[in-house]
Structure 1
Amino acid sequence: MTNVVGARAVFGVIVPSTNTVVEHDYWGARVPGVAYRTGSMHIADPAMRNDRDFEALLVQIRASIDTAVRDVLTAEPDRMVMGMSAETFWGGVAGNAAFERRLRERTGLPVTTGASSCRAALRVLGCRRVAVFSPYQPVADREVARFFTEAGFDVAAISGLRCPSATDIARVGPDRILDMVAALDDPSVEAIVQVGTNLSFVSQADMLEAELGKPVIAINAATLWHALREHGLTDRIPGSGILLREF
């Protein structure tokens, strides 16, 4: 017998306990027959006021990810999706590959990460020169830029919103994001990429694509798209950006 609400697939989704956006974005896409079982990585101290705070936040993630994965596996998912992004970019291309390998070995399941999803998205869109923004501190932005550069992309610019805590990421409104995109964009930039899964951007990215005339990749849309396509599900979904709508 198949799962009633996840007859086509059940995705295990790993998020920080501070994250309120990933599940909203995935369920909002309304993919028929696909269900999500979320596992939460406990973040006792969400501060990320500076580089040291941000690195301490990653330590908390690394200490709690195994428990989150353990809990998700009890739902017998078909795939693991990382609903957090910074850790998947850390260490560049090799760091992401090692992270995915550890998760595959731990779960016996295929794994989708934000870093790999963004790379796959840019390749399918044929975009090489990109501008990137995040809610992060500089230490994390450097790792994000490193990943994209090692993956063969030209990072024209990268900037972080410097959110003071992990919970504050979800409080960033569309006007502040619009200012960030305007500051990063120029005619030479072929795509805008957003990382940081607790930043609400999917619907705004969809609208900005029409205004700017270029791809605007929201990481939550990218990870959902990559997980679906790698799983053989080809649904075209409006309202969540070019990836889910056309590819």
Structure 2
Amino acid sequence: MTALGFLYPGHSAEDDYPRIEQLLGSDVRLQVVHTDIGEDAHRVDALLEMGSDARLGAGVEELRLSGADAVVWACTSGSFVYGWQGAHDQVRALARTAGLPASSTSFAFAHAVRELGVKRVAIGATYPGDVAALFSSFLTDAGIEVVSVRGSGIITAAEVGTWGEAEVLALARAADHPEAEALLLPDTALHTASFIPDLEQELGKPVLTANQVTVWEALRLADRRVNAPALGALFIKRPLVQV
């Protein structure tokens, strides 16, 4: 049994996690601990407070008691808002506090893009434009070419959590770009776990979503690979290339 721990801000789309656990169809347990987000706002000052060491540290003990093998801060905006170096400092502090391998959703996106072997991506964000631009800058610092960014101007995670498949599909269509090899949907408040293959079929390319890559990142930290096509191209095992 592999136990994976997630610090999830507030309550919006956390039901993606039991759904993903079911779709993994393996001996993997996903443990979600909710952190206090303070003010629910996609605004830089509020996001910096949401991702502070004190708020993350408050949930760590519960994850340790659950027997987690790794922990991921399941928040994109509350990590990339710190910038490339600041986000590294954030996960290092989390790893020290937890005594476990640690990461965040922002790094999960960077690592997942590399896993897929793509170079150019488009971003379809629920955030206001200035916050979406910070995610683009984070990916650029990771060596990824961002060919387009679309923000939706939504301020609260609570509103994002009300979106269903129709709204997500509309965002994906609007945000896609012909030069992009993959589309990224970076908000963990967005429900996507039930229809990633439908999004990929619609766009004809891989789609990376926040809760999907967060779980994949935790599996990576735990040195696990799970073949789960229902979670999209990222979860399809690829044959080793013979040299």
Fold shared, TM-score > 0.5 on shorter chain = yes
* Residue 64 of structure 1 pairs with residue 55 of structure 2: yes
Q: Is the 8 A contact 2:122 2:177 kept in 1?
A: no
1:239 alignment partner, SS class: helix
Instruction: Tell me which amino acid in the other structure corresponds to 1:29.
Output: L
Q: What is the alpha-carbon distance in structure 2 between the residues aligned to residue 100 and residue 245 of structure 1?
A: 27
Q: Is the 8 A contact 1:47 1:166 kept in 2?
A: yes
Corresponding pairs, count = 236
Name the CA shift for 1:55/1:31 in 2 (closer, same or farther; >3 Å): farther
Match in the other structure for 1:240: 231
Deviation at 1:174, TM superposition (A): 2.1
TM-score between the two structures when normalised by the length of structure 1: 0.86
1:202 alignment partner, SS class: coil
Match in the other structure for 2:177: 186
The answer for unaligned runs of 5 or more in structure 1 is: 1-7
Counterparts of 1:72-221 in structure 2 under 5 Å? 72-221=63-212
Q: What is the alpha-carbon distance in structure 2 between the residues aligned to residue 110 and residue 93 of structure 1?
A: 18
1:172 alignment partner, SS class: coil
Deviation at 1:45, TM superposition (A): 3.6
1:94 alignment partner, SS class: helix
Deviation at 1:67, TM superposition (A): 0.9
Instruction: Tell me which amino acid in the other structure corresponds to 1:186.
Output: H
Percent sequence identity over matched residues?
Answer: 26
Candidates 12, 20, 28, aligned match of 1:19: 12
Tell me the alpha carbon deviations over residues 9-59 of structure 1, each in whole angstroms, 9 at most, x when there is no partner. 1112100122333424432324422212222112354244xx3xx532541
Tell me the alpha carbon deviations over residues 191-216 of structure 1, each in whole angstroms, 9 at most, x when there is no partner. 10111111012333321212322111
Q: What is the alpha-carbon distance in structure 2 between the residues aligned to residue 186 and residue 89 of structure 1?
A: 23
1:43 alignment partner, SS class: coil
Q: Is the 8 A contact 1:91 1:143 kept in 2?
A: no
Q: Is the 8 A contact 2:47 2:81 kept in 1?
A: no
Instruction: Tell me which amino acid in the other structure corresponds to 2:12.
Output: N
1:12 alignment partner, SS class: strand
Q: What is the alpha-carbon distance in structure 1 between the residues aligned to residue 58 and residue 76 of structure 2?
A: 18
1:171 alignment partner, SS class: coil
Deviation at 1:114, TM superposition (A): 1.1
Deviation at 1:130, TM superposition (A): 0.8
- Pairwise CA RMSD of aligned residues? 2.0
Instruction: Tell me which amino acid in the other structure corresponds to 2:96.
Output: E
Q: Is the 8 A contact 1:91 1:147 kept in 2?
A: no
Tell me the alpha carbon deviations over residues 44-88 of structure 1, each in whole angstroms, 9 at most, x when there is no partner. 54244xx3xx53254144242211123222223211122222122
Name the CA shift for 1:117/1:169 in 2 (closer, same or farther; >3 Å): same
Q: What is the alpha-carbon distance in structure 1 between the residues aligned to residue 38 and residue 84 of structure 2?
A: 29
1:155 alignment partner, SS class: strand
Q: Is the 8 A contact 2:74 2:211 kept in 1?
A: yes
Instruction: Tell me which amino acid in the other structure corresponds to 1:144.
Output: F
Q: What is the alpha-carbon distance in structure 2 between the residues aligned to residue 118 and residue 34 of structure 1?
A: 21
